[in-house]
Amino acid sequence: MATNPAGGPLEKATQERESVVIRFAGDSGDGMQLTGTRFTSESVLAGNDVGTLPDFPAEIRAPTGTLYGVSAFQINFSNKNVYTPGDDLDALVCMNPAALKTNIADLKQNGILIVDPAEFTSANLRKAEYENNPLEDSSLDKYQVYQVEVTKMTTLALKDTGLPNRSVMRSRNFFALGVVSWLFNRPIEPTLEWIQQRFGKTPVVAEANTLAIKGGYHLGENTDMFASSYEIKPAEIDPGTYRNITGNSATALGFVIAAQKAELPLFLGSYPITPASDVLHELAEYKNYNVYTFQAEDEIAGVGAALGAAFGGALAITTTSGPGMNLKGETMGLAASVELPMVITNIQRAGPSTGMPTKPEQTDLLQAIYGRHGESPLPVIAASTPADCFHAAFEAARIAIRYMTPVILLTDGFLANASEPWLLPSVDDLPGISVDFRTDPQGFFPYLRDEETLARPWVKPGTPGLEHRIGGIEKDYLTGNISYAPANHEQMVRVRHQKVAKITQEIPPTQVKGPEQGKLLVLGWGSTYGAIAAAVEAAQAQGHAVAQAHLRYLNPLPADLGDILSRYEKVLVPEMNMGQLLRLIRADYLVDAVGLNKIQGRPFKVSEVATRIARMLED
């Protein structure tokens, strides 16, 4: 390996690229999530649009070097609009043989592969189930393979720190980050600053990581290992203040800000479950915003405590994933019956049962709409991108309060952990949430309804003169006293339905991206948004009359949806389930829509949607 004899950087060519998809993969203990997040920050500061997807194993500390212990982080960065974390990889960094084995299939032909040869020991190869060392046979010939001595060079760079070998190994990821940062012209200064902030309290660790990342960067700069680096120009991005945000963080913020807007305390009752726990963790940090986080003994108690807090006049929420949703079912029925506001967030994961806890799916839509006993309609709202989780959570809270109803918010494990730059809203632009606690005893009945929304009054216990009892037994239409009268029950069932149906008046006109009528409408909901948007744009660029509509409100559906559906010859509904929205659409509108269904615990690739669009345009 030649170095510049003069000691300065070599003059190297820079190639321009529109966008790059890169994945960092390594052992769970290799710090790939951190590496990925840092690389993301560097990329947004370089002005690119980005989309990210972490992919980590369910096992907390899987044995090192195993195939199931591989943890990965994928980033798509571009000078154009980014909709997804990207399909196939332009570059792949593998910290060990297991990472290579589990990820290589996603690397494009002639893609950049960075491996650390020191890790390809016979023991590691055996754990990764390789019979031959792939670095020594011809199996990697179709890629640009760079054998970067990450382990050796990190050791060398850190030799003066006096750190024991085990600690030195923990800086390997920073060395790799340094190499890749150089390769794609990312500034490492933000990471250097971040290292100081994060590890400043243990200066030796801060120094080690600093030396490692600089070492990696200089390796790229000063050796002839890479002939050229790549430049991805800044994207044209709407002006404003941005922050990179994951879906779970956005969800947490949406609720806090809704509570602030409503001037109510926020109460979260929750029981830890992947991938929902991070919302609990994050909200626990916001106590000074008058946020209560109650870690309950189970999901039933989580939603129960939330319902109790709602009765007391708080903005009450509960967060969970599939299995927890089942446990909350009975309490949701009670909440629907007593008509108290609450948001139940289901961060969907692959089921049934424990399924694949860290993998996303959209398999709980019908459960959200129908999954309770009795006629128990609840509004259902879904988020479509990580940042959109903020707006969806905010809207769910607003609807819950305005209509005095529990609302189900659906996100999923992909949105939860994926991130994207978020144009921070101005607080004043967000709709207000007015709360009107009833205090006047004159003419008060617990179930007297507002004409416009059919909401019943919200009364805080403690209000003199309004003492009353609520409960799950059927109640009189007006007085709320127990009533088993047959006609009254039907009236109550109908009014609970009407109330939810009235929410259509809140739904803005459905945005159709593309021609107002034409050959094909691709209809989606939730996290498939990005893949559909990119695929539809590509088809439009080829001159096809294809449009996209994406639903935020799943129950009730937008009033204009029937009309929109009727304006296209064909309707395609891509979903990460067996066809749940598809079933609703076909049943409600008698449209012969078809499904594109992927149930692999992985988001759609743009190419998968694009291929199907192309086929539907041909037939």
Q: What part of residues 537-596 is at the interface with another protein (CB under 8 A)?
A: none
Q: What single-letter DSSP state applies at residue 7?
A: S
CB of 322 vs another protein, minimal distance in Å: 21
Residue of 67, 135, 237, 448 that binds another protein (CB under 8 A): 237
Helix, strand or coil, per DSSP, at residue 343:
strand
CB of 344 vs another protein, minimal distance in Å: 14
**161 interacts with another protein by CB under 8 A:** no
Question: CA 350 to CA 329: how far, in whole Å?
Answer: 19
**580 φ, ψ (degrees, to nearest 5):** -90, -50
Residue found by looking up tokens 């941005």 in the block: 242
CB of 476 vs another protein, minimal distance in Å: 11
CB of 440 vs another protein, minimal distance in Å: 14
Determine the interface stretch with another protein among 116-124, 220-228, 325-333, 541-549 (rule: CB under 8 A): 325-333
**289 interacts with another protein by CB under 8 A:** yes
Determine the interface stretch with another protein among 126-134, 300-308, 531-539, 606-614 (rule: CB under 8 A): 300-308
With left for phi above 0 and alpha for psi between -120 and 50, is residue 406 left, alpha or beta?
A: beta
Question: CA 333 to CA 243: how far, in whole Å?
Answer: 38
Torsion angle of C-alpha atoms 370, 373, 378, 382, degrees rounded to 10: -40
Q: Which is nearer to another protein, 345 or 580 (CB)?
A: 345
Question: CA 429 to CA 531: how far, in whole Å?
Answer: 29
Determine the interface stretch with another protein among 38-46, 167-175, 494-502, 593-601 (rule: CB under 8 A): 38-46
What is the contact mask toward another protein in residues 454 to 473, using x (rule: CB under 8 A)?
A: ------xxxxxxxxxxxxxx
Question: CA 381 to CA 508: how far, in whole Å?
Answer: 13
Question: CA 238 to CA 135: how far, in whole Å?
Answer: 45
Residue of 230, 292, 444, 458 that binds another protein (CB under 8 A): 292
* Structural contact between residues 382 and 347, judged by C-beta atoms closer than 8 angstroms: no
**287 interacts with another protein by CB under 8 A:** yes
Question: CA 370 to CA 376: how far, in whole Å?
Answer: 8
* Structural contact between residues 313 and 259, judged by C-beta atoms closer than 8 angstroms: no
CB of 538 vs another protein, minimal distance in Å: 26
CB of 241 vs another protein, minimal distance in Å: 5
**301 interacts with another protein by CB under 8 A:** yes
As a whole number of Å, the CA-based R_g of the chain is: 27
Helices 172-183 and 150-157, packing angle to 10 deg = 110
**265 interacts with another protein by CB under 8 A:** yes
Residue 224's contacts (CB-CB under 8 Å, 6 or more residues apart) are: 1, 2, 3, 10
Where in 493-512 is the site for another protein (CB under 8 A)?
none
**312 interacts with another protein by CB under 8 A:** yes
**480 interacts with another protein by CB under 8 A:** no
Where in 421-450 is the site for another protein (CB under 8 A)?
424-425, 427
Q: Which is nearer to another protein, 142 or 460 (CB)?
A: 460
**273 interacts with another protein by CB under 8 A:** no
